[in-house]
């Protein structure tokens, strides 16, 4: 306690009394209007986390964004190739104008869309059927999954080479089988229609196990009590599949379809090894066309324009699919 002369007596000062006779307790470490202590601790931990992860995020961002931005700049540029590399001379829209005037680009776009729709639809149907079969297996489910993973785990270049051997018009086993069944010697990879069909079969054979395993993971997570209640109400297998299984599997199937759209729209290695884009340009996808323009014709600006437009088309298709899927799920929730 401080006296009138400014000296301290060593006696602690008494708190001023309140209306009920008790002095208010002093709050330490927090001022009026200051945020709670746990919020400040949370912000401090967030700053520490961002400090540690910022270098890795910067590296990932540079690796991911730099090729995209560089390709976008090249697609709007007139590029000249010289002995010291390529030189960007000026910015121009000629690459995209040449693209929209090219009949080959329209054919590659149509073929890529057709190939994506057909193969993804077939893989979803076959994958759901395979998952329903494996879901009913007990002891042999692991063996079945291991067998189905063999095509999916095979490198696409190897599987394409394998199917090329089987489709070969001289010694291919599929050609031999068709010759013995129908008495003809078909050129499977020599005509446009059969080459497109052969390429779709090879893709469906390889990728259907991927869809089946994703759908199987969703199947085993479905609640069993719903099926027991449906059986008590007298629902048959088809009714339970159509009214219970399929609606609850829609999010899982949507994930599988989204992944497959991304892969199928950018297909390159299968047509490049199996058919080379032929006969003619019958199996030439957008990715194969971009490779030929960029690395064979050495037209860097046009090749970058094909790559950029393909990326925008894939992103637009995925966003449209997600929007339609969310709108459908929202209607079911309201109903």
List pLDDT tens digits, range 257-291. 888 888 888 889 999 999 988 888 999 999 999 99
d(CA 167, CA 173): 7
**Across 63-77, 101-115, 229-243, which has the greatest mean pLDDT?**
101-115
pLDDT of 30 reads 55
Residue 77 confidence class, pLDDT cut points 50, 70, 90:
confident
pLDDT band at 160 (very low <50, low <70, confident <90, very high): very high
Structure letter (DSSP) for residue 242: I
E strand or H helix that includes residue 226: helix 224-232
Number of alpha carbons in the 13 Å side-chain half-sphere of residue 172: 20
* 147-152-157-160 Cα dihedral, nearest 10 degrees: 70
19-33 mean pLDDT: 51
> In Å, what is the CA distance from 204 to each residue of 57, 106, 164?
36, 25, 15
Q: Indicate yes or no: pTM above 0.85.
A: no
Question: Is residue 78 within 8 Å of 92, Cβ to Cβ?
Answer: yes
- What is the average pLDDT across 94-116? 91
Q: What are phi and psi of 250, to 5 degrees?
A: -60, -45
Q: Identify how many contiguous H helices and E strands the chain contains and give both numbers.
A: 13, 2
CA distances from 27 to 30, 34, 36, 79, 124 (A): 7, 12, 13, 70, 64
Q: Cβ–Cβ contacts within 10 Å for residue 270, how many?
A: 24
Q: What fold characterizes domain 102-333? A: MetI-like fold (1.10.3720)
CA gap 15, 198 in Å, rounded:
92
**Residues belonging to the chain:** 335
Instruction: Identify the pLDDT of residue 331.
Output: 61
Q: Is the pLDDT of residue 23 over 60?
A: no
What DSSP string describes 76-141?
A: TEEEEEETTEEEEEEE-SHHHHHHHT-HHHHHHHHHHHHHHHHHHHHHHHHHHHHHHHHHH-STTH
Nearest residue to 210 (alpha-carbon basis) of 256, 166, 169, 247: 256
How many Cβ atoms from other residues are within 10 Å of residue 37's Cβ? 10
- Residue 34 falls in which region: left (phi positive, over 0), alpha (psi -120 to 50) or beta: beta
**Contacts (Cβ under 8 Å, ≥6 apart) of 268:** 285, 287, 288, 291
Give per-residue pLDDT as tens, 45-63. 888 888 888 888 888 888 8
State the pLDDT at residue 4.
46
Q: Contact at 8 Å (CB) between 127 and 113?
A: no
DSSP codes, 243-270: IIIHHHHHHHHHHHHHHHHHHHHT--HH
The ranges assigned to domains in the chain are: 45-91, 102-333
At 335 the pLDDT is 55
pLDDT beyond 90 at 84: no
How far apart CA 309 and CA 306 sit, in angstroms, is: 5
168 with 282: CB under 8 angstroms? no
Under 8 Å between Cβ of 268 and 292: no
Q: Is residue 124 predicted with pLDDT exceeding 90?
A: yes
């Amino acid at each position: 306690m401080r006296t009138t002369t400014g000296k301290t007596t060593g006696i602690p000062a008494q708190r001023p009394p309140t209306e009920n006779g008790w002095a208010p307790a002093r709050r330490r470490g927090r001022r009026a209007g200051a945020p709670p202590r746990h919020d400040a601790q949370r912000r401090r931990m967030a700053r520490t986390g961002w400090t540690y992860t910022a270098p890795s995020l910067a590296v990932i961002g540079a690796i991911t964004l730099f090729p995209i931005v560089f390709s976008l700049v090249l697609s709007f540029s007139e590029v000249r190739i010289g002995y010291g590399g390529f030189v960007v001379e000026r910015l121009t829209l000629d690459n995209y104008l040449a693209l929209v005037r090219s009949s080959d680009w329209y054919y590659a776009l149509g073929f890529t869309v057709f190939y994506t729709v057909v193969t993804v639809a077939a893989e979803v149907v076959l994958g759901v059927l395979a998952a329903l079969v494996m879901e009913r297996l007990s002891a042999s489910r692991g063996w079945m999954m291991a067998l189905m993973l063999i095509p999916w785990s095979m490198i696409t270049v190897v599987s394409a080479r394998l199917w090329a051997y089987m489709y070969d018009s001289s010694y291919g086993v599929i050609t031999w089988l068709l010759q013995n069944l129908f008495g003809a010697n078909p050129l499977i990879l020599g005509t446009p229609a059969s080459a497109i069909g052969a390429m779709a079969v090879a893709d469906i054979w390889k990728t259907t196990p991927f869809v089946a395993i994703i759908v199987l993971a969703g199947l085993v997570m479905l609640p069993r009590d719903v099926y027991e209640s449906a059986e008590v109400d007298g629902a048959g297998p088809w009714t339970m599949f159509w009214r219970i299984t399929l609606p609850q599997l829609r999010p899982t199937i949507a994930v599988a379809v989204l992944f497959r759209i991304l892969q199928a729209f950018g297909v390159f290695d299968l047509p490049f090894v199996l058919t080379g884009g032929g006969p003619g340009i019958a199996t030439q996808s957008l990715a194969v066309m971009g490779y030929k323009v960029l690395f064979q014709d050495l037209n860097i600006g046009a090749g970058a324009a094909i790559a950029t437009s393909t990326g925008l088309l894939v992103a637009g298709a995925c966003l449209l699919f997600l929007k339609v899927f969310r709108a459908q799920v929202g209607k079911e929730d309201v109903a």
